[in-house]
C-alpha cells in the first residue's frame, strides 16, 4: 500500500502555511476547501495529515529532479523535441529566469514551511501515543534536511528558515546563510531524526516514511559531499553493519512496477495512480518522442535520454547495460532509461517510485569514504558487492587508492545512472568541468551532443531565481550570472 496519499485538504493547506488566505464570500463563511491555519493544527489527526502533505510534496520535486542532478552530466541529453524546455540543463546555460529553477526553489521552501509548521506547533498537542509526537518531529526534521541538502547543492548559500513564517513581510528579512551554517543545520536535523525515527514501521500504511536508516544514509551522503571522510565512514558503517538492507540478487527486481520499497530501497519518493496527480511523468519524460506505443502506451518527450558515452561505459558482460538502457531508432539512437519505464494506462500517472537513497549507493559511498581514509583494502569489498551482482569479476584487493577511486567512479556511474547522482558526484570529485569539456569535444558530432554546451566552474551552482531577488533584495546573486 502506498503511503501518504495526497488529500485535497492538505493540497490547499500547503498554500496557507505562510500566513493563510481566504476566499471571502458575502456570507463570511470559510469555504470547506480553504482551511485557515488558525483553525488547523488542533488535533493529532491534523498533524498526521500535515506531515502526509509534507511527504506529498516530494512527488512534484522528484518528478523533475533529473533536470538538476542528471541532465547536466555526461549521462544524459535532450533531443530537439525537448530542447526548448530542458535545453538549458543539457547545455549548462540556465539563467536566473529559467522557470524550473524558480520552481525548485519554491518547492523546497514550501516543503520546509510545512515541516517548520509541524515542528513549531506540535508541542502543546496531546497525542494518544506520545512516542508518535517524537517521531513526527523526527520525520519533519528529516524532510527539512533533505530539502536543504538539495538547496545547498543547487544554490550554495541559501536563506536558513527554521521557524514558521506567519506573514509575508517577515519572509523578506532573510539573507543567504553561509554554506557552512546550512550544512551544520542539515547535520543537526539528521542526527535528531536518527534518534527519533524507528528502524521499521509495522503498518503497511506507513511504508515509505523516513526511518532511522534513511536518516543515517542521508547524513552519510551529506558528510561525503562535504568531504568529511571520517564522519561519512562512521555514519555509513552504521547503515551497513545494521543489515537492514540488502543488494537484491537480480538487478531487474530493483526497479519497475511491483518492485517499489524492496529490501534495497532506503528511501524513495512514493507515487500512486489515483487520477488526481499523485503519479509520476517518468514515462512521458524519459521515453523517445517518436516511440509512440512501441515502448509504452504513451508518446514520450525525449527529455532525459542516455548518451552513447554512458552506453559505452558499461564493461563487457555487465548485465546492467541491457537492464538499465533500452535502444530505439537507427540513425539517431535513443538510449532510454529502462529503470523507470513501464506500460502506463494514463500519461503522468506512473506508479513506480523514485529512489532517493538506495543500498547500492550506500555501499559505494561507504567505499569512497573508506578509501579516502586510507582503508583501501576495506573499501574494495564494498565495490565488489555491487559488481558481482552485475555479473562482473571482483576487483583485486591489491588495487591502489587512486585506482580504487577510479573503480568507485565507474561503478557509481553505471550502477546509479539516471537516478540523479552523476552531476553532484562529478562536482564532489572536482571533475565536472573537465569531464563535460571532454564529453562535448568527443560527442558533438558522433552523438550530436549540443555544440552550445558551456561547461564552466560557475555552473556548479544554479543562479538565484530572478523572481526571488526581485521580492527580496537582500538575496545576492551567484558568480557568473
pLDDT digits (tens, 9 = 90+) for 372-409: 999 999 999 999 999 999 999 999 999 999 999 999 99
What's the pLDDT score for residue 38?
Answer: 63
What's the pLDDT score for residue 246?
Answer: 98
In the structure grid, which three cell numbers stand for residue 366, read together?
A: 561507504
Q: Classify strands 325-328 and 76-77 as parallel, antiparallel or unpaired.
A: unpaired
Boundaries of every domain in the chain: 227-269+353-429
What's the pLDDT score for residue 35?
Answer: 53
CA 177, CA 468: separation in Å to the nearest integer?
Answer: 15
CATH of 227-269+353-429, one of 1.10.540.10, 3.40.50.10880, 2.30.30.100, 1.25.40.390: 1.25.40.390
Residue 333: name the closest of 293, 306, 312, 313 by CA. 306
CA 108, CA 161: separation in Å to the nearest integer?
Answer: 11
What separation in angstroms does the CA of 230 have from each of 76, 367, 368, 375, 406? 32, 12, 11, 11, 20
Residue 189: name the closest of 140, 258, 131, 230 by CA. 140
What's the pLDDT score for residue 299?
Answer: 82
306, β-bridge pairs:
76, 335
* 65, 420 Cβ separation under 8 angstroms: yes
What's the pLDDT score for residue 176?
Answer: 98
Low-confidence spans in the chain with pLDDT less than 50: 1, 5-34
What's the pLDDT score for residue 7?
Answer: 35
Amino acid at each position: 500500500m502506498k503511503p501518504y496519499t495526497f488529500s485535497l485538504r492538505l493540497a490547499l493547506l500547503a498554500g496557507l502555511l505562510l500566513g493563510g488566505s481566504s476566499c471571502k464570500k458575502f456570507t463570511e463563511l470559510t469555504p470547506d476547501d480553504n482551511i485557515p491555519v488558525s483553525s488547523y493544527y488542533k488535533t493529532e489527526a491534523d498533524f498526521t495529515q500535515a506531515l502526509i502533505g509534507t511527504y506529498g510534496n516530494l512527488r512534484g520535486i522528484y518528478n523533475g529532479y533529473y533536470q538538476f542532478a542528471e541532465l547536466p552530466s555526461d549521462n544524459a541529453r535532450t533531443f530537439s523535441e525537448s530542447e526548448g524546455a530542458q535545453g538549458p540543463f543539457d547545455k549548462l546555460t540556465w539563467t536566473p529566469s529559467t522557470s524550473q529553477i524558480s520552481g525548485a526553489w519554491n518547492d523546497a521552501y514550501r516543503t520546509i514551511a510545512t515541516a517548520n509548521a509541524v515542528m513549531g506547533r506540535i508541542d502543546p498537542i496531546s497525542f494518544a501515543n506520545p512516542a508518535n509526537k517524537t517521531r513526527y518531529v523526527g520525520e519533519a526534521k528529516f524532510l527539512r534536511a533533505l530539502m536543504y541538502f538539495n538547496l545547498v547543492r543547487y544554490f550554495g548559500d541559501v536563506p536558513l528558515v527554521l521557524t514558521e513564517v506567519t506573514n509575508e513581510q517577515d519572509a523578506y528579512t532573510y539573507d543567504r546563510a553561509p554554506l557552512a551554517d546550512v550544512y551544520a543545520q542539515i547535520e543537526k536535523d539528521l542526527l535528531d531524526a536518527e534518534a527519533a525515527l524507528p528502524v521499521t514501521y509495522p503498518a503497511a500504511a506507513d511504508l515509505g516514511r523516513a526511518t532511522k536508516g534513511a536518516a543515517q544514509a542521508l547524513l552519510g551522503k551529506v558528510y561525503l559531499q562535504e568531504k568529511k571522510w571520517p564522519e561519512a565512514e562512521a555514519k555509513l558503517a552504521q547503515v551497513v553493519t545494521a543489515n537492514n538492507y540488502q543488494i537484491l540478487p537480480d538487478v531487474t527486481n530493483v526497479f519497475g512496477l511491483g518492485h517499489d520499497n524492496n529490501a534495497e530501497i532506503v528511501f524513495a519518493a512514493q507515487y500512486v495512480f489515483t487520477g488526481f496527480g499523485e503519479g509520476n511523468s517518468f514515462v512521458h519524460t524519459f521515453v523517445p518522442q517518436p516511440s509512440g506505443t512501441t515502448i509504452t502506451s504513451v508518446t514520450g518527450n525525449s527529455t532525459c535520454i542516455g548518451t552513447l558515452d554512458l552506453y559505452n561505459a558499461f564493461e563487457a558482460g555487465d548485465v546492467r547495460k541491457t537492464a538499465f538502457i533500452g535502444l530505439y531508432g537507427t540513425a539517431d539512437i535513443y538510449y532510454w532509461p529502462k529503470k523507470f519505464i513501464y506500460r502506463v494506462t494514463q500519461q503522468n500517472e506512473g506508479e513506480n517510485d523514485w529512489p532517493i537513497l538506495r543500498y547500492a549507493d550506500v555501499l559505494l559511498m561507504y567505499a569512497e569514504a573508506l578509501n579516502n581514509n586510507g582503508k583501501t583494502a576495506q573499501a574494495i569489498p564494498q565495490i565488489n558487492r555491487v559488481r558481482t551482482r552485475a555479473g562482473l569479476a571482483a576487483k583485486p584487493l591489491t588495487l591502489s587508492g587512486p585506482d580504487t577511486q577510479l573503480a568507485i567512479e565507474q561503478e557509481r556511474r553505471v550502477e546509479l545512472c539516471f537516478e540523479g547522482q552523476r552531476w553532484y558526484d562529478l562536482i564532489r570529485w572536482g571533475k565536472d568541468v573537465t569531464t563535460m569539456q571532454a564529453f562535448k569535444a568527443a560527442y558533438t558530432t558522433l552523438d550530436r551532443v549540443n555544440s552550445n554546451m558551456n561547461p564552466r566552474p560557475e555552473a556548479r551552482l544554479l543562479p538565484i531565481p530572478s523572481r526571488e531577488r526581485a521580492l527580496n533584495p537582500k538575496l545576492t546573486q551567484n558568480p557568473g550570472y
